[in-house]
Structure 1
Amino acid sequence: MTSPAPVRRRAVFLDVDGTLMQDGHHIPPSAIDAIRTARARGHLVLLSTGRGMAELRGDIMDIGFDGAVTNGGAYASTGDEIVMARMLSADDVAHRLRAARAHLTRSPRIHPAPREWNT
């Protein structure tokens, strides 16, 4: 009797907005179960999002992922190891601030973020 062929390990990359969170607020229990099942079977499950790490709520990270590619690809980690962190230089920051001041902030008013951004 031959033993079954080994399962080929896969890597799955998931976006947050529109994939894990269809409504922008909640992650369906079925998605959480699928992620945990895939990891239990030896597959790697990673986040891939334009969001920054600071924007990923605790309930998202509590699901358990093997790593993440965030900040639009400027930051990558596996487990607790930072694989890549590409920061803007001081000159790039200064250039962007000048552009923002010239084109975006023509009013002394503060423009708060929409409520749904803070959920």
Structure 2
Amino acid sequence: MTHRIDLCPENTAAADLLRPEKNDRSGIGVYYVDEWLKPLKSLTLPDGTRLTAKRRGLKITLTLGDRKGEGLMRRLDVGRDPAAMLRAALEEAARPLDARLVAEEGRVLLERE
């Protein structure tokens, strides 16, 4: 049975950073990624477990309690869209945690088994 935990509102202001005039020249949209991850920097789940998300270079790191997962922003595998690269990297980082991060209806949710 999957449990869904509402983490925070999705940072929709991050999408403004994808406009061509805001180009950060990184190729992966680091300004967008950092802004999108900002609400997930340090959260405490209802059961007391800590959740953190951060970016360093191309690597996205998710920490859930004492477990850690990492995912890479892969432009060659996913395409040039920073939002798609971020979703794929978050999926990869959440896999070792037996979880998924889902953005739906303006909210960021954590799905756990």
Taking structure 2 as the reference length, the TM-score comes to: 0.26
Larger Rg: 1
Identify, as 1 or 2, the structure richer in strand. Answer: 2
Higher relative contact order (CA 8 A, sep 6+): 2
Taking structure 1 as the reference length, the TM-score comes to: 0.25
